[in-house]
């Protein structure tokens, strides 16, 4: 048992370090290209890579509970705890330019799309995920990318922060860009190297302590999988209102990716190892987790539909995260 736990935390540490490399590289690349489009696309995809690595490794071995649990845990973690920490930083002296609240009016369609994809993912899971569902998730992901691109073209002027980042990026030497690319690639490689051993260690600890691997995936996987997103959010939140706004774009974008791209990756990864008829089956525990995370996602979005997020919203999200973790002790017994 002790060996499995050490093995788990060893590979967890490797994934966290790789995630830090990925985050640092992605952050500087985002500064070079700038804009909310980067928050929705480049940063969202980059910060979703750890989950993709874990999901592919789990689907390869037929550990579908780990694959889906990891995706669900990611949404639970960042839509509550992640956003809460970002808000606490952005609205207190921890920020370089503290704000009373973060204006999220410009993310109206993102919020609606997140609700739609969360509900769609839960409904489609009633009879399990198969090739048809994988195609639907891929289509939803393509629609979101098209939406993000259209929004980018509609932005006629850059915000002050984006302009500063863009101007600074243009003066950065090629060595700086090369370093960012090296860190980004190294982090990506490290994530995919550590993902499979991490999944095996997770399953080993699950057997040793008698806790469902689904529950462990929901609770433990986000610690590694969400590390790059967490780091990028903290850095952006400290830059003031516009930085926090880009961080919100990153969170919403990456969670939409989780509900579309990540689930399609799980389906197609299963198919690549099990054939076209491969299907990710529904189980009572996974179904309950899906319902729980969908409800928490929608509840977490309620303050956003008021278009302002402040310190009170951050505290509410922390409480919501505590409820979600507390339910992990209840769901296996239902």
Tell me how far apart the terminal alpha carbons of the chain are, to the nearest angstrom. 27
pLDDT at 26 over 80: no
Percent of the chain with pLDDT over 90: 23
Rounded to an integer, the average pLDDT of 24-34 is 60
pLDDT of residue 169: 46
Rounded to an integer, the average pLDDT of 86-111 is 85
Report pTM.
0.76
* Strand 308-309 to 102-103 pairing: antiparallel
Least confident piece of the model among 24-28, 116-120, 289-293:
24-28
Highest mean pLDDT among 171-180, 243-252, 253-262: 253-262
DSSP letter for 232, please. Answer: H
- Give per-residue pLDDT as tens, 188-208: 788 777 767 776 777 777 777
List the one residue out of 297, 306, 307 whose CA is nearest residue 116.
297
- Give per-residue pLDDT as tens, 118-142: 999 999 999 999 999 999 999 999 9
Q: Which residue has the higher pLDDT, 286 or 16?
A: 286
DSSP string for residues in 109-170: HHHHHHHHHHHHHHHHGGG-B-HHHHHHHHHHHHHHHHHHHHHHHH--S--HHHHHHHHHHH
DSSP letter for 98, please. Answer: -
Residues 331/73, Cβ–Cβ less than 8 Å: no
Helix (H, G, I), strand (E, B) or coil at 99: coil
Give the residue ranges of DSSP H helices in the chain: 2-33, 36-40, 42-60, 64-76, 83-90, 108-124, 131-154, 160-171, 174-209, 213-225, 227-237, 241-257, 263-274, 284-305, 311-327
Residue burial 70-93, b: 16+ Cβ < 10 Å; e: rest: bbbbbbbbbbbbbbbbbbbbbbee
């Amino acid at each position: 048992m002790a060996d499995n736990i050490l093995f788990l935390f060893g590979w967890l540490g490797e994934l966290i370090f790789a995630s830090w490399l990925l985050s640092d590289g992605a952050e500087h690349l985002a500064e070079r290209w700038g804009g909310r489009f980067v928050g929705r696309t480049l940063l969202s995809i980059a910060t979703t890579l750890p989950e993709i690595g874990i999901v592919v490794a789990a689907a390869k071995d037929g550990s579908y509970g780990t694959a889906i649990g990891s995706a669900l845990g990611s949404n639970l973690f960042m839509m509550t705890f992640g956003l809460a920490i970002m808000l606490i930083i952005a609205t207190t002296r921890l920020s370089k330019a503290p704000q009373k609240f973060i204006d999220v009016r410009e993310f109206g369609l993102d919020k609606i799309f997140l609700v739609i994809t969360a509900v769609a993912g839960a409904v489609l899971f009633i009879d399990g995920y198969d090739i048809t569902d994988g195609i639907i998730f891929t289509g939803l992901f393509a629609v979101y990318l098209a939406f993000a691109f259209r929004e980018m073209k509609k932005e006629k002027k850059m915000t002050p922060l984006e302009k500063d980042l863009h101007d600074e990026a243009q003066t950065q030497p090629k060595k700086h860009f090369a370093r960012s690319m090296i860190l980004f690639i190294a982090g990506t490689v490290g994530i995919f190297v550590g993902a499979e051993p991490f999944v095996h260690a997770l399953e080993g600890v699950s057997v040793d302590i008698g806790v469902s691997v689904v529950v462990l995936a929901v609770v433990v996987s986000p610690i590694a999988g969400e590390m790059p997103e967490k780091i990028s959010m903290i850095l952006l939140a400290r830059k003031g209102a516009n930085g926090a706004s880009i961080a919100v774009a990153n969170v919403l974008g990456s969670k939409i990716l989780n509900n579309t791209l990540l689930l399609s990756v799980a389906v197609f990864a299963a198919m690549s190892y099990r054939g076209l008829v491969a299907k990710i089956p529904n189980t009572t525990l996974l179904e309950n987790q899906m319902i729980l995370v969908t409800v928490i996602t929608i509840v977490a979005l309620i303050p956003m539909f008021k278009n302002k997020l402040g310190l009170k919203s951050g505290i509410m999200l922390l409480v919501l995260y505590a409820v979600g973790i507390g339910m992990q002790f209840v769901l296996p017994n239902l």
